[in-house]
Amino acid sequence: MICVIVCSIKARKQIFRSSNDQDLEAFIRANGPLAVKRHKFLEIRKMTKSFKDKLGQGGYGDVYKGNLLDGSPVAVKVLKASKGNGEDFINEVLSISRTSHVNVVTLLGYCFEGQKKALIYEFMPNRSLEKYVYNENALQTSSPQLEVEQLLDIVTGIARGLEYLHRGCNTRILHFDIKPHNILLDENFCPKISDFGLSKLFLKKESIMSMLDARGTIGYIAPEVFCRNFGGVSVKFDVYSYGMMVLEMVGGRKNINARASHTSDVCFPDWVYKQLEMGSSLGLPNGVTEEENELARKMILVGLWCIQTKPSDRPSMSRVIEMLQRSIEALQIPPKPVLTFPVGTPPESSTL
């Protein structure tokens, strides 16, 4: 089994050096999941009623609402033609097809016809977490702000999903792009990790990943990507991104504001520490109870532990789940991390 995985990873790296679609198709047939149905692009067009209902867009493609033949709603992501080398497509198909977890979105099918590539997922009626966690979004839309207990359930669910990706699969999966935009919510607001376009597979026996390129979204990228003196790239990259996202969720604001000054960008964790010391409820609505305030403080402490500068100082996702289940009295306030990675990047360069 291990030999097959090693060969698969090596073969995929070789495929990425070629833009030959025939090679990509052969690779998918040899290594892709047989349980996931392959569709023709004509079926994708019918499924989405000629791409009538657009749900959203990202750096790798646009997402449309569709329906299967039995009427079941689905989300269809059509990858941009400019991504012709197929790396993001292969990443999604091979990574997510290896998963089966309540907190990871389910891949139902895919389309591959030359430059036409699409991925079919289960439909998430409550869209992405991004719609709910920022105060400015809550004011501009009809979406209600999440309750504190809902935030805790979502934070815990995401942690369980990441723990599964890091430990529960045949190979470890590093997501490399954990952020509110990539967390989808079902009808019960159960969180599901999505968008595996930047993910990487590596063997369980490996703890450090060799990387030649920086990847991720500015504001969520761990310091070791820019300065290897802090340590190698590992599953602790996702832990850092998760921690920053948790702080955003409780703080009700983005950790980097493209319209703000560089000083404002740098001080987000410091701002969180200061609010914690002052006993502030951060971005929570007025009138929160003492119990809700304690839950918020617990999530803040966990988030701050997750964004420690050295990867070795960050908890594993298993440890994060334990911390979220403990009382706040059992949690210590972590030291302030020394943030030395680039900030203030213009919005057009926000994704690497």
Q: What is the pLDDT of residues 296-333, one digit of tens each?
A: 999 999 999 999 999 999 999 999 999 999 999 999 99
Q: Burial level of 329, CB count in 10 A (0-12/13-18/19+)?
A: exposed
- β partners of residue 185: 191
Strands 200-202 and 191-193, sheet pairing: unpaired
Q: How confident is the model at residue 186 (pLDDT cuts 50, 70, 90)?
A: very high
Residue 77 marked ligand-binding: yes
Q: How far apart are alpha carbons 272 and 227 in whole angstroms?
A: 24
Q: Which residues are catalytic?
A: 177
Q: Distances in Å between the alpha carbon of 133 and those of 28, 35, 148?
A: 37, 35, 11
* Alpha-carbon span 150 to 188, nearest angstrom: 10
d(CA 72, CA 55) in angstroms, rounded, equals 16
For 184, the 3-state DSSP assignment is strand
pLDDT digits (tens, 9 = 90+) for 165-185: 998 776 789 999 999 999 999
Residue pair 299/151 in contact by the 8 Å Cβ criterion: yes
Domains of the chain: 2-122 (3.30.200.20), 130-349 (1.10.510.10)
| Dihedral in degrees, nearest 10, Cα atoms 206, 208, 209, 215 | 140
If one counts every other C-beta atom within 10 angstroms of the C-beta of residue 273, the result is 18
Mean confidence (pLDDT) of the chain: 79
